[in-house]
Amino acid sequence: MHIRKLVKSGLSSYTVALPKEWIDRNRLNKGALLYIEEHDNLLTISAELSKERKERKEIVITTEGKSEKIIRREIRSAYINDYDRIYLKGSNIKVLAAALKKDVHDLVSMETIEESTDKIVARNFLDFSEVEVTDIVRRIDNITRSMLSDSISCIETYSSEYDMAQILRERDADVNRLSFMVFKLLKSCAGDPTICTRLKLSELEVLRYWHLVFIIEKIADEAKRIARLIKNLHAKKSKFDRKGLTKLFQEVKTHYEGVMKAFYKKDFNLADEIYLNKTPMLKKCDEYFEDNKCLEIADITGKFKSIVSQSDDISKIIRYLN
């Protein structure tokens, strides 16, 4: 870190000395143009305008002796860490090829560009200049809301021709793809302030959106699992208060929608209302279970409570990260 004094120069300007090492490294001379970008209380000084993307990174992931799940985690980690090319190499590639290619294609803008019996090469085509983090977050939220609504719709009757549990599993995959895309963008911001500027995000917003998307993705998971449990209730022809469950689930959904409204509007009072409503909501879930005891209802009400608690976590983001 270099520390310099701000020196008044003339009636309306100030100057600061730049480190000689930086001047020499960038081969600058007297009269050279410098480009200054403002980002909150941070000024970024660069020797070139709109620098091209940093040097392209590559990573080799060996697949020998690893389970498919571990390899998938490594692929996602490489994606989030902004590697341009991912090489998957191993003698077991032939056996895992279909699953690994699906793992690659489940990530936004990742494509398989080469394949052989012992190697798969994937490339990242994501262009940061073409995306808006706020728009992606809205899409994740909207998909999650639709998943909650459709889970509610199958409480009264479950159509064998229109398998809602399967449909929501596919939508949850969309949420996952978009979430990993957001994580990739936000982690890049943490390593390069100029990317923050390009994405029109402050450092605090990077932290805020990371936590938010992490929570919404969990809520989408719960919506998917609830639909599967409702399907099991109908398959077993279990007796339960359908109207009561519908009403309770709708309240849980409204709880989530309320906190998201507070997030978008930065409404601290509404966020506090959501926080105060947590305990009564959890009590309603317990009461419903007491009146409709069975294994699936225990799991469903448990997931309702999870959504309520995660919504409360979003209310904390509103309070503490604004």
**Where is 7: in which H helix or E strand?**
strand 7-9
Would you state the pLDDT for residue 41? 63
59: helix, strand or coil = strand
Residues 49 and 277: their CA atoms lie apart, in Å, by 51
Cα separation, 267 vs 257, whole angstroms: 13
pLDDT level of residue 48 (50, 70, 90 thresholds): low
Q: Per residue in 94-148, pLDDT tens?
A: 999 999 999 999 999 999 999 999 999 999 998 887 889 999 999 999 999 999 9
pLDDT band at 78 (very low <50, low <70, confident <90, very high): very high
Distance of CA 6 to the CA centre of its chain: 40
pLDDT of residue 272: 96
Spatial distance between the Cα atoms of 100 and 228, rounded to a whole number of angstroms:
26
Q: How crowded is residue 122: how many other Cβ atoms within 10 Å of its Cβ?
A: 26
Specify the amino acid at residue 230.
I
Mean pLDDT of 210-238: 96
- Residue 39: pLDDT above 80? no
Strand 119-124 vs strand 85-89: parallel, antiparallel, or unpaired?
antiparallel
